[in-house]
Amino acid sequence: MRRAATGWPFLVVVGCVVLAGRVRGALDPEVSKPYTLQVVLSMSKHRLLTEVFRDQVERQLRDGLQAAAGDLVKVEVVRTHPRLKEVRTQGLDETLKNWKELTGIKTHFILIDYVDGQYQVQARQHDGLTGQASPVVRKERTSDRQFVARLATLLIDRDFGVVGTIKDASDPKNLKIQIKGSKLGGVERWLHKGEVFLIIPIRLGQKQALAVPDAYLQLGDKDANEEGTWNVELHNRYKAPLSMANIQGFRCLKIATKHGPLQLRFVQRGAPVANLGVEVRKNSFKDERNKVGGVTDAEGYFSTEKTVYDHLAFVTALTEPLHALIPVPLVDDRPVTVGVVMRQDVKTLLVLRRLLWEQQVSEGAAVQTTLFKELQELNKKPDQREQALQRAREGLEASEKALEDLKRERERLVEDARKANEKLDLSFGDQCVQSQEKGHGELREYITAQEKIIKDENDPRRRKWLDQIQEGKLAEANADFARAIEIYAKVLEEGHKDEGLTKHLDELKDRWKTKGPAHELARQFIYETWPALEVGKIKAQLPEARKALKTCREVKDRLAPMKFLRVAVAHAGKMKQRLETLRPDLNEDDVKAAEEILELSKDLQQLIDEAQQDLQTR
């Protein structure tokens, strides 16, 4: 940490400090709030699907669902929806599969057609609290005109999908979930022991959400000590599914599962995997009582034939060098496609895990920027000093917890790489972790200063100046040096006497002066163009970025590279976040996209290394 000659401290954070990591319990479980269910009713054109019939079905749907749900659900039936045209042209499967938006509303599409002398009803739901669709498109037929509305009601009821919130994710072996609406009554008819929930991490301010891949919660007994709470057991394919930084918490969505045999198809990058050893168990990966084993056929298929399972099966793919333990929910009778990675792709899998770990670290840069801006705004209002102090304390606590998780995941990565006899370059993530530890100290200084102001200062003008100085420090921490200079100058002009601040301001002004047109252009690029780039445009701007960094190096500017580095780390986080949506083990197009991100990451990493070297050079 750099200090002025008099010892007056100022806040400068270099790198990727995570100040707001995982915030356990921050999500409202909404145990006393009802669900909002919007049923989108669409009938095709046919002489038997009259307007009178539409009105009848709409009324029966609304009344039947509302009567069955009571206060737990607010039901509305509509005939229009922004996605209805897409649903009718592309189908419920494709449209809802790609709809990950967090709307807060359950939207259930009911499509009614008259086909081959029967009424055909299709149904599928999108849950706006988790951004997930129900697993399958339900399709049923009836020749009874009076049974159509009842059939649609049954399909909606089957896939209603109650929503839970993990109470505390810090101990994966002892998890509890709180069910939305549980204090309103009626929710227990959708909750039976052994049923399965998807797990969805929710990030602050995000508009979309993705479920944790191949990780599920299985419902246990109701908690006798707390209303609206159930015990659950975590089953996961990949390690530490709940160790994610920078999230508010975890929602979970119940999916409709069944009783029956299991059919699987194993693929690697979309191609079938033949002669793969497979074992399927009933109650856990260690249950040997009813184990079914065998190998896949030439097309990658494997079936348990007459052996049946309830809700969830535990599948072991005997891949080398590490066996894949895969929980598989039973949602319908179709074969479940399972992506596996064979020996020759273990390195690729480890690299992807490393990138996802780095993403969790680098995402903190964006979160940190948000927190500093929030504290700056709070500091402008003296009556919100206590709120700013509390927010800073929460940020520090969350950062320390997130750092613990990140270190544990690093240990797992190193151990798995050792077992696979592979080497991983973790230097980027290690640099970020070190910066986080430094950032904890900087934030503690801020907290100490705020506590002193609250305790000792009674002069309103002096309190105002001290608040403004804190705002300036936060601006410096965010590499907004022009703003910090403006704030410090204003404080001194208003009459605040502080020799340390005066000297610091003079030094900062001197260091902030541009040295010629080329330097001005470099600053403009770093502070205006570089932060505004979308991921798809980063590659084209790398030469200009390197040029700007080189110019700063030549004129010995050590301030602009701080901003450059923060933005570069944020860009890296965006790129790695994109990897969350890719499945290179299943999709050949995703392999190409992942390779492009890897290549761009290497180029960006070189620039990050250069910026860090510049900052370390005194």
For the cut 90, the answer to whether the pLDDT of residue 448 exceeds it is no
Name the helix (H) or strand (E) containing 271. Answer: strand 271-272
For the cut 60, the answer to whether the pLDDT of residue 615 exceeds it is yes
What mean pLDDT comes out for the span 586-605? 76
For the cut 80, the answer to whether the pLDDT of residue 103 exceeds it is yes
Q: In this structure, how many other beta carbons lie within 10 angstroms of the beta carbon of residue 311?
A: 20
Name the helix (H) or strand (E) containing 325. Answer: strand 324-329
Distance CA 223, CA 236 (A): 23
For the cut 60, the answer to whether the pLDDT of residue 290 exceeds it is yes
For the cut 60, the answer to whether the pLDDT of residue 3 exceeds it is no
Q: Token digits for 537?
A: 């445009």
Distance CA 270, CA 321 (A): 21
Q: What is the pLDDT of residues 163-207, one digit of tens each?
A: 999 999 989 999 999 999 999 999 999 999 999 999 999 987 678
Residue 219 pLDDT level (bands cut at 50, 70, 90): very high
Distance of CA 109 to the CA centre of its chain: 26
What mean pLDDT comes out for the span 451-462? 67
Percent of the chain at pLDDT exceeding 70: 88
Higher model confidence: residue 321 or residue 333? 333
Residue 312 pLDDT level (bands cut at 50, 70, 90): very high
Residue 618 pLDDT level (bands cut at 50, 70, 90): very low
For the cut 60, the answer to whether the pLDDT of residue 426 exceeds it is yes
Question: Angle, nearest 10°, between helix axes 481-493 and 460-477?
Answer: 160
Residue 294, Ramachandran bin (φ over 0: left; ψ between -120 and 50: alpha; else beta):
left
Percent of the chain at pLDDT exceeding 90: 47
What mean pLDDT comes out for the span 308-317? 95
For the cut 60, the answer to whether the pLDDT of residue 267 exceeds it is yes
Q: Token digits for 264?
A: 């699987």
Distance CA 125, CA 114 (A): 21
Looking at residue 83, its pLDDT comes to 94
For the cut 90, the answer to whether the pLDDT of residue 388 exceeds it is no
Q: Token digits for 106?
A: 């359950």
For the cut 50, the answer to whether the pLDDT of residue 512 exceeds it is yes
Looking at residue 357, its pLDDT comes to 79
Looking at residue 7, its pLDDT comes to 30
Q: Which of 6-15, 375-384, 442-451, 604-613 has the lowest mean pLDDT?
A: 6-15
Q: Token digits for 308?
A: 């049946």
Residue 505's φ and ψ, nearest 5 degrees, are: -65, -45
Q: Token digits for 427?
A: 């230097």
What mean pLDDT comes out for the span 59-67? 95
- Predicted structure pTM score: 0.62
Residue 457's φ and ψ, nearest 5 degrees, are: -95, 125
Q: Which residue has the tokens 């909606």?
A: 156
What mean pLDDT comes out for the span 424-448? 79
Q: In this structure, how many other beta carbons lie within 10 angstroms of the beta carbon of residue 383?
A: 7
Looking at residue 30, its pLDDT comes to 96
For the cut 70, the answer to whether the pLDDT of residue 17 exceeds it is no
Distance CA 196, CA 221 (A): 13
Looking at residue 457, its pLDDT comes to 58
Composition of the chain by helix, strand, coil, percent to 5: 45, 20, 35
Looking at residue 367, its pLDDT comes to 66
Distance CA 164, CA 203 (A): 16
Name the helix (H) or strand (E) containing 118. Answer: strand 118-127
What mean pLDDT comes out for the span 587-611? 79
Integer Rg of the chain from CA:
28
For the cut 70, the answer to whether the pLDDT of residue 6 exceeds it is no
Looking at residue 459, its pLDDT comes to 65
- 381, 463 in Cβ contact below 8 A? no
**Helix/strand/coil for 192:** coil
What mean pLDDT comes out for the span 556-561? 89
Distance of CA 438 to the CA centre of its chain: 25
For the cut 70, the answer to whether the pLDDT of residue 581 exceeds it is no
Kindly report the three-state secondary structure assignment for every residue of 206-269: CCECCCCCCEEEEEEEECCCCCCEEEEEEEECCCCCCCCCCCCEEEEEEECCCEECCEEEEEEC
Q: In this structure, how many other beta carbons lie within 10 angstroms of the beta carbon of residue 215?
A: 18
Question: Angle, nearest 10°, between helix axes 346-379 and 427-456?
Answer: 20
Looking at residue 604, its pLDDT comes to 85
Looking at residue 93, its pLDDT comes to 92
Looking at residue 368, its pLDDT comes to 61
What mean pLDDT comes out for the span 235-250? 84
Residues 6+ apart with CB under 8 A from 202: 27, 102, 209, 247, 248, 249, 250, 251
Looking at residue 399, its pLDDT comes to 75
Looking at residue 236, its pLDDT comes to 95
- 155, 92 in Cβ contact below 8 A? no
- Strands 196-202 vs 138-142: parallel, antiparallel or unpaired: unpaired
Looking at residue 598, its pLDDT comes to 78
Q: In this structure, how many other beta carbons lie within 10 angstroms of the beta carbon of residue 556?
A: 10
Indicate the DSSP class of residue 104: S
Q: Which of 183-197, 258-272, 342-356, 423-437 has the lowest mean pLDDT?
A: 342-356
Indicate the DSSP class of residue 101: B
**Buried/exposed 459-472: b ≥16 CB within 10 Å, e otherwise:** eeeebbbbbbbbbb
Residues 6+ apart with CB under 8 A from 77: 38, 39, 41, 58, 61, 62
Distance CA 161, CA 126 (A): 10
What mean pLDDT comes out for the span 366-373? 66
Q: What does pLDDT average to over the chain?
A: 85
**Helix/strand/coil for 18:** coil
Find the length of the chain: 618
Distance CA 408, CA 386 (A): 34
For the cut 70, the answer to whether the pLDDT of residue 42 exceeds it is yes
Residue 91, Ramachandran bin (φ over 0: left; ψ between -120 and 50: alpha; else beta):
left
For the cut 60, the answer to whether the pLDDT of residue 456 exceeds it is no
Residue 285 pLDDT level (bands cut at 50, 70, 90): very high
For the cut 70, the answer to whether the pLDDT of residue 554 exceeds it is yes
For the cut 90, the answer to whether the pLDDT of residue 162 exceeds it is yes
Looking at residue 366, its pLDDT comes to 58
Q: Which of 42-46, 107-111, 560-564 has the lowest mean pLDDT?
A: 560-564
For the cut 50, the answer to whether the pLDDT of residue 243 exceeds it is yes
**Cα angle value 92/93/95 (rounded, 5°):** 65
Q: What is the pLDDT of residues 123-144, one digit of tens each?
A: 999 999 999 999 999 999 999 9
